[in-house]
Structure formats: C-alpha cells, structure tokens
A and B are shown apart, each in its own frame.
Chain A
C-alpha cells in the first residue's frame, strides 16, 4: 500500500491565489459569475465549464485555478465535475462529437452511424483521435425529431445517414461548418417542415 502524493498541510487544502497562476480573464469571469447568485457556490458548474473551455479539459491545474478563486477545495470541484457528463477530467481533443444512441435515435439507426463515426474518426467510443477529435456515445440530447443525431462542438445535426457520418468527420477535419444543411437550428417546427415549409435559410430561430 503506497501513499500517493506528497503530504500537504490541512491549512493548504484550498489553493492560495498567490500560488496558483490564474489567467486574469478566467478570474474575472468567475468573480462576476459568483456575484450573480445569493450563494457564490452556485457558480460552480458554470465556472468549471468556463475553465474547461479555456484549458480544453478540467486538468488538475484548471481545477486548482477555479478552486483558488472560488475559495473551495479542488476535491469539492472534482466531486461536482465527475457527476456531470459534459465535464472532461481526462485530456480530450479540439473537437467533440456526442453521438446520441438513446432509444429514439437507436430506432432510427444510430448504432450504424456511430459505427461509421468510429471508423471515420479512427477511435472507439470515449476516445480521442490523434488529430484531436473526441467521440463518445451520449444519452438523449433532446432532438429526437432529427434522429439519429449528434452534437458536434455543441451544434446539433441530423438526421444523419451513414454517409453523413463520413462527411461530418471530413468537415470537422477541414475545420469548416459541419453538415450545414442538417443544422437543427435551421429547421422549422414539424407541421411546417413536413408540409414542405422552407427549411434552411428562412431565418427562423437563427442563432
């Protein structure tokens, strides 16, 4: 039984700002976010997400930075972070693909699309490719109307065919807009959509 890590003093459980080099921008962001709540601890999830955006993942250093500004222990933060699916406590790539494989997407062929994505990215579920594409199966993303679908760097695309999967990865590697014709935000409500109402480019709900 080996004892991990060096001994610390209990007074040092919360990292000191003086010892942690927090980027000014992140520090300001966290301080402003904390001020939005009656209890500053409420800002935990948004602040962790901001640090994750900055660092690409919640590295131990990223966690320490948030901890020093928020005056909480890093353990508290990883406890929270590890509860939520969108926090990455392992290093991940520049791009993230969440492929929905829940019931509605499964019913429309999500597993085949996922298999194709794995082949195209060259990794299996939960891994990062050498060129920085992180692919994972995800539970229902709330877009069963475009099943099977995926969230690519936060952008919802679908319905996806097996061919779309290849195109999606190609677009991502070329650093261009992914499957522009299949963005959820360009799609009108079902009644309009299925009656042939103008789908893309109508401006409805453009974000």
Chain B
C-alpha cells in the first residue's frame, strides 16, 4: 500500500506552504472550487465512505450531509484535542503536514457550506499549535482562506484555538463549550451539533486525521478511496502503537490487516525476553484484548465484534512484566482525573472505582471488592451524560473480568505478606491509616 497521509511526511520543510505547494498542495482546492460545486464535493466524501478517525467511527460524509442548507453562519470544528491515552497520530500530522489539514478543512467547509472554521488543539501541543498558526497565516497570505477564495465566491475563515488541558474537550460537545469560552462540559444531545452546535449554529466536527484525508479523497475521487481498506472501513488508518513494543510510533496501515501484522510486524513485537499479556486495540478506553485475538482484522467492525473498539486507532501493548492491577488503577485514575464532574455516575463512579482499585493495589481488599468494582462499572455504563464514564467502565470491567485470577492472586499475596496484628508496631494510627475505609 502507498502511504496517503504520511506520503513524504518527513520531507524537509513540508510544513511550509512553499514545499507543500511545490508538491501540488492546494491544487485540489483550486480545482474543486473551479470545477465542482459544494454538493459535488460532498458527494465525493459520501462516496468515499471515510469514517471519523476520532473514535466513534461515524461516516464523515453522512455527518457533513446533516448540516442544514441555507445562508446562516455554519461552523466547522477540527477536533485536534487528541488526548486519549496512547494516541498521538494527529500530533504528527499537524506538526509535519499542517497544510494537508488546512486544505482538508477548506474543502470540507466548501462541501457543507461552512463559512467559519476552527481548529481546537489541545494546549499541551504548543509546538504543533505554533506550526498550525503559521500554516493558517500562510494560507491566508496565499489566498486559500478568507473571503471569495480564488474568485470562487466561497469564503471561509479559520482560527487556531488552543485548549488548556482537559481530556473531556475531545468529546465533541464539550469541545464546543470550551471553544465558547466555558468549562468543557459535554452537552445533552439532542440537539446534535449538526443542528445546534457552536454558538447554537449548525456545526460539523471532525478529527484531524479525518480532515487530512479530505484533499486526497477530492483529488482522486470517493470511489478510488473506497477501494482502499475493507468495505465498511475504507481508507488508510494511522495507528499509534505504544507500550511494551520494540518500535513504538505511528504507522499508516490499510484498514483490515491483521492486528498481529501491526504489533509484531511494524512495531517489532515484544521487548526482548518478554511476552505480551494484553493489548488495548483503540486507546485506554477500549476493553482489553488478549494474545488470542492478535489475528483479528484491524478494522472498526472486527474489533467491535470482539467486544472492544478501534477508537482512535491506538494500540497499547502490555507485557508480562506489568501487573494488570496497576494498569487498572492507572486507567481508572486517569478517567477520574478527567471526569468533568457534570453527571453523577461518571463523577462519583470514576472516583469510587479509583478508591477501590487503590485499595486493591495496596492489598487492602478482598475478592468481594472485585465483585463490587465490577458491579459499579455496570452501574456506570450507559447511564452517563457522555461516554467518559463508559470509557473507564469498559476497560476496567474487562480487566477485572478477564484477569480476575491475577487480581485475586495479587490480593492473596498481599494477605500472605501482611504483618500479623500481634507483631504490628506499638503505635497505631487507627483512624488515619491502618483500618481502611473508616469514615473519618
């Protein structure tokens, strides 16, 4: 397969408009503005079958088609708040080929009749944001952005907007609130952003990788694109591989290749002398898979079929040197930290789960606590305002269920090593320390 998004990605100066244009950049935009109307561009996007690369995997063309027609202000938000643990592909795209994204944004705006676009980039990506800002400035200077682009009558503005550190802002409605200058709380849906999104206007929200695909789709046609990958997972996918592998990094693959090929082929397999115990197929919110599942085709539906999800395409590999108990605690405490606090099950559930897992990690628990932890995950799942609660409940639930033996062994080892009470030090801070769970 030829690389699409990563084509010559490390060519020196690709982040500048000179190099990008020298390589034929923005030609697709000019041609589209000249020869196609917005509806036709939209039709290509729909024909391509490209699904959102942010995590939910919803067909991008369909989503763009939901926007009402008419002359009101319409908005595009490029979701560059890449924060799902294990995911770092958008960072690479923005840093190395920002104009590919900018051109995609302009084309997508043209397709959906959008006149105001924003890139919401996580605040931690300082270098990438500066690169994007420079690229946007260049695109304005070269007449690709602004009013009446290349004499077409179509115009769109683009602003790079930096977040300030909140995972939840990757959730599309929280992103909207954050972009409106508020706390990044997810909104109730409906209304959906396509009807009432940013500033209550119709809004299209897409991930960096999704939008980076757009110029290629428009250039080669939706049909051409649809031939890459599988029938329901078209196109290439950037996969971020991290954790206990020899060659962590971003790889561009054709959707549908076996996961084994990514983990062992591209990423080089486990570190010397180690064995892989489990892997997250789609970021830390995806339920864990085991080595039994290495041969699954890596595409949206196959991974979903195995009870997990492709998500943002981030594979995190865990080897036998790591305790699943620690992974569970780290996972839960991340979501606890990132819960916005708006809805009860997520706010309280992530907090409670973390406290319980901490107790398990400390060895101050019994197998009955594992049942409680699993039960609490059920109490969270499906009952929250947005998906963040589920994002913890699903992996934690999978860990406790699939690795129950390891949890129990951990507790048993802790129990066995516990100092008998008779030998305990004379001074005991009973309320503060020794007796867990006493309500102070």
Contact = CB atoms under 8 A, between A and B. Distances in A.
Are A and B in contact, CB atoms below 8 Å, in the complex? Answer: yes
Interface of A: 36-39, 41-46, 48-49, 79-81, 83-87, 98, 101-104, 106-108, 138-147, 151, 154-156, 184-185, 188-194, 197, 202-205, 207
B171 interface: no
Interface in B316-354: 316-319, 322, 326-327, 330-331, 334, 337-338, 340
**3 interchain residue pairs of minimum CB distance:** A190-B249, A85-B165, A44-B181
Contacts, number: 197
Contacts of A156: 127
Interface in B38-95: 73, 82-88, 90-92, 95
27 contacts: A37-B159, A41-B182, A42-B181, A84-B163, A86-B165, A98-B124, A103-B280, A107-B322, A138-B124, A139-B167, A139-B338, A140-B84, A144-B87, A145-B88, A145-B240, A145-B248, A145-B249, A156-B127, A184-B127, A189-B92, A189-B249, A190-B251, A191-B249, A191-B251, A202-B10, A204-B10, A207-B95
A48 B85 CA distance: 26
A102 B330 contact: yes
Contacts of B240: 144-145
Interface string B113-157: 000100000111111101100000000000000000000000000
B179 interface: yes
A39 B181 contact: yes
Contact of A104 (B182, B243, B326): B243
Contacts of B256: none
B32 interface: no
B180 A41 contact: yes
A176 B9 CA distance: 30
Interface of B: 6, 9-15, 73, 82-88, 90-92, 95-96, 116, 122-128, 130-131, 159, 161-167, 178-184, 199, 240-244, 247-251, 266-268, 280, 284, 314, 316-319, 322, 326-327, 330-331, 334, 337-338, 340
A83 B340 contact: yes
Given A108-B243, A143-B88, A190-B247, A202 B166 contact: no
Given A104-B243, A140-B334, A207-B130, A49 B181 contact: no
B182 A103 contact: no
A81 B165 CA distance: 10
B96 A204 contact: yes
A188 B6 CA distance: 11
Nearest to A147: B242
A189 B181 contact: no
A189 B40 CA distance: 34
B279 to A, nearest CB: 11
